[in-house]
Amino acid sequence: MQGVGFRPFVYALALRLGLSGHVGNDADGVFIEVEGPPARVAGFLAMLETEPPPLARVERVRSAAIAVTGGAGFAIVPSPAGGPRNTLVPADSATCADCLAEMRDPGDRRFRYPFINCTNCGPRFTIVRDVPYDRPATTMAGFPMCPACAAEYADPADRRFHAQPVCCPACGPTLRLLPTPGVLDAGGDPLTKDALARAAGLLRAGRVLAVKGLGGYHLAVDAGSEQAAAALRARKHREDKPFAIMVADANAARQLCEVDEMAESLLVSGQRPIVLLPRLRSAPVADAVAPGRQELGIMLAYTPLHQLLLAEAGRPIVLTSGNVSDEPIAYEDADAMSRLAGIADGFLVHDRPIHMRTDDSVVRVFRGREMVLRRSRGYVPSPLPAGPFTRPVLGCGAELKNTFCLGKGSHAFVSHHIGDLENYETLKSFTSGIEHFQRLFDVTPAVVAHDLHPEYLSTKYALELPDVELVGVQHHHAHIASCLADNSFDGPVIGVAFDGTGYGLDGTLWGGEFLLADLASFTRAGYLEPVPLPGGAAAIRQPWRMAAAYLGDDAADLDGIADLDVVRRNAARWDAVVALGRSGLNSPLTSSAGRLFDAVAAILGVRDEIRYEGQAAIELEQLADPAVTDSYPCGVSDGAELRVLGRELVHAAVQDMRSAIPASVISARFHNAVADMIAATCRELRSRTGRDVVALSGGVFQNVLLLTRTVALLEAAGFRVLTHSRIPPNDAGISLGQAVVAAAMGRDG
Ligand code: ZN
Ligand code: ZN
Ligand code: FE
């Protein structure tokens, strides 16, 4: 990879060991010739792998003896021009400790400079327009280096040797605070002087500040101000979905949340994701920041601009994507100004363009390991080991939480978070993103893999591509394949794919699936007994409809249901919705596990309507008392395909409600029952097939309570269990799954 300081590291290492020779880049990576005493050459080889610079990743070192040339000195040689490209573009990385120290040193020429960076840190993927990765191909092209910066750039012994975005107050981008009329009195326009202090003043005064960041515009408010957080919610038209919080450092994070060792290592990592952490009761965070949530999404300041702003503001700030409702995050200046004009009271901006829109990544800790839930800024475009891809492959991904994936050689390049492909902006982001990745990584896909859902825009995109081989990949097979790729495991496995919905081979909506799968193929071995989805998409927005689908209008074995609150609350439409489900009109059958959670959530009174995807299930999970260990029995109908009777769990929950059992106990018993049901079904499939590895995938496994209990039961039963870590279990992983399935089918066929 270029621009991560690997050649200067080699240079310094050779000088330190007194070796002569040279180092350079070519299409295959880095080549080095060294000459000197054998013991020192051996030490040199070892240290290449043990001491590389922070942003470098050494995949493998191959070495061979060559004739001695008797040369003296060590040199960095220029890259040969032309030839196939194989250098990788680095991901953006948080400001390093050395740069922070310089930024805080009044004697340094970059004192308080919001764009300080070096070879070990700074913007990368978000500013790269083209390859090879050199300054003219980035959005720093418009900032010619001053002599001082140019000298650092050219000096192999300097920390900024070949740092493409290197700059300083004399030659680099400038910060400005743009006032919004009537809010800020413009004492000189644009406000370059004291921009930070005045921006921080806006935050302290409870105003909404737009901040141009690394991958897009954010909206910021004081995280402790109820009024400011509520105003931001109202102006963004974002009702319940939690906002993320940015803090200055790990100590500040500890004032808000429980932070264990693993969580801290994620918070302070170069990727600087949003980390979901248990909220402290004492946390001085406004209720409107994350209404009803026991966790907060916390990230540490990751650019020098954020560091300075946090220091000036002196408090945690909400930092949420700069957009209205579900639109993509704004990243182009003019677009941001117009779209955010009605939301922000001021704009803290700069003149370094953002080339790639990239959202903040989201992770959590699961059993001491990182579990990525949204893989974007900081992680992308680092490749994942996968394949081999004997022909270049494009996986087009799903509809919601879309990503795409390019497979080439032994690398899978999974894209940044594109979003929900439901409007023109997102679709444009999808198609232009694919073109950008194809150019950056020099991939022209010969095989294009897509979902089977004919209405997904990603499917339609694939079907219109000329001169490619198309491979349709079933949604839940792609989920399981993504989990296999995440674990570098080929199968065969028992795959448990639990999610909201995915298009099934029989044209119904699947989502509670037990698959006997490897990368190339699968069979459907079991599933949740299907129920109607009354009114289609309306049933996804209104979980009470799923209660109606599961309970019907009389539920004979429950002696009627007229006494239930969920029926009373929705009495006006209950019978009509039940009838709609029975009629099959706009009510496809679904085996969705997500909808089973919705039904139970509605019955327990958690909520009848949702305002964001997964809300009812998330709230049901939070409700559960983790000390409760008992469960409900769940029947499985025997047959070639196992049918799991989810209805029995719903009925057991209803009986508990009638016995005045607290909702916290019922929720826990329900979660335990789903885990029991998964383990029992996997045991049955093991007895039929001998398979003893289980892969768990799909958005439902973002539910940590369910995941924890399921893994524990499976491991106690002697299974090896694969869960997600580097790639999300939700639909953001589908593109990788599609790509590896298509590659495996190609290898087998
Ligand atoms: Zn640095
Ligand atoms: Zn300069
Ligand atoms: Fe899915």
Ligand 1 centroid vs 359 CA: distance in angstroms?
Answer: 22
What is the rounded CA–CA span in Å between residue 671 and residue 185? Answer: 56
Q: Which residue has the tokens 């300097």?
A: 158
With CA atoms as reference, report the closest residue to 710 among 671, 653, 669, 657: 671
Ligand nearest to the CA of 477: 3
Ligand 1 centroid vs 95 CA: distance in angstroms?
Answer: 5
pLDDT number for residue 188:
45
What is the rounded CA–CA span in Å between residue 733 and residue 94? Answer: 25
pLDDT number for residue 623:
97
In this structure, are 200 and 307 located in the same domain?
A: yes
* Contact criterion met (CB below 8 Å) for 529 and 647: yes
Ligand 3 centroid vs 695 CA: distance in angstroms?
Answer: 14
Ligand 3 centroid vs 122 CA: distance in angstroms?
Answer: 34
Residues with CB under 5 A from ligand 2 (ion): 146, 149, 168, 170-171
Ligand 3 centroid vs 36 CA: distance in angstroms?
Answer: 56
What is the rounded CA–CA span in Å between residue 525 and residue 542? Answer: 30
With CA atoms as reference, report the closest residue to 702 among 664, 738, 733: 733
Q: Does residue 238 form part of some domain?
A: yes
Measured CA to CA in angstroms, residue 518 lies from 478, 648, 699, 744 at distances of: 10, 31, 20, 9
Ligand 2 centroid vs 95 CA: distance in angstroms?
Answer: 18
Q: Does residue 422 form part of some domain?
A: yes
Q: Which of the listed residues 157, 172, 187 is the one where a domain comes to its end?
A: 172
Ligand nearest to the CA of 171: 2
Ligand nearest to the CA of 504: 3
What is the rounded CA–CA span in Å between residue 253 and residue 298? Answer: 7
Burial of 188 (0-12, 13-18, 19+ CB in 10 A): exposed
With CA atoms as reference, report the closest residue to 273 among 376, 369, 354, 356: 376
Ligand 1 centroid vs 317 CA: distance in angstroms?
Answer: 24
Ligand 3 centroid vs 190 CA: distance in angstroms?
Answer: 47
In this structure, are 538 and 421 located in the same domain?
A: no
Give the domain CATH number at 310: 3.90.870.10
Ligand 1 centroid vs 484 CA: distance in angstroms?
Answer: 36
Q: Does residue 96 form part of some domain?
A: yes
Model confidence, pTM: 0.94
Give the model confidence (pLDDT) of 314-373 as tens digits.
999 999 999 887 788 899 999 999 999 889 999 999 999 999 999 999 999 999 999 999
Give the domain CATH number at 468: 3.30.420.360
Give the domain CATH number at 689: 3.30.420.40
In this structure, are 403 and 315 located in the same domain?
A: no
Q: Which of the listed residues 125, 155, 172 is the one where a domain comes to its end?
A: 172
Ligand 1 centroid vs 650 CA: distance in angstroms?
Answer: 55
pLDDT number for residue 409:
94
Give the domain CATH number at 113: 3.90.870.30
In this structure, are 246 and 119 located in the same domain?
A: no
Q: Which of the listed residues 76, 102, 124 is the one where a domain comes to its end?
A: 76
Ligand 2 centroid vs 109 CA: distance in angstroms?
Answer: 9
* Contact criterion met (CB below 8 Å) for 324 and 183: no
What is the rounded CA–CA span in Å between residue 218 and residue 602? Answer: 34
What is the rounded CA–CA span in Å between residue 577 and residue 599? Answer: 14
What is the rounded CA–CA span in Å between residue 372 and residue 374? Answer: 6
In this structure, are 138 and 18 located in the same domain?
A: no
In this structure, are 204 and 283 located in the same domain?
A: yes
Q: Which residue has the tokens 């016995």?
A: 659
In this structure, are 661 and 581 located in the same domain?
A: yes
Ligand nearest to the CA of 110: 2
Residue numbers of the domain that contains 279: 175-350
**Total of domains in the chain:** 5
Provide DSSP, 386-448.
EEEEEEEEEE---STTB--EEEEEEEEEEPPP-B-S-SHHHHHHHHHHHHHHHHHTT---SEE
| Residues in contact with 285: Cβ distance below 8 Å, sequence separation at least 6, in sequence order | 223, 224, 245, 256, 279, 296, 316
Ligand 2 centroid vs 490 CA: distance in angstroms?
Answer: 50
| Beta strands 362-366 and 369-374, pairing class | antiparallel
Q: Does residue 504 form part of some domain?
A: no
In this structure, what are the phi and psi dihedrals at residue 66, rounded to the nearest 5 degrees? -130, 170
Give 10-residue mean pLDDT values along the chain (749 residues): 77 90 80 91 90 82 88 81 65 97 98 96 95 89 97 92 94 90 50 83 95 97 97 91 97 98 98 98 96 95 98 97 85 91 93 96 97 98 94 97 96 96 90 96 96 96 96 98 97 96 95 98 97 96 97 79 93 95 94 98 97 94 96 88 94 95 98 98 97 98 98 98 98 98 87
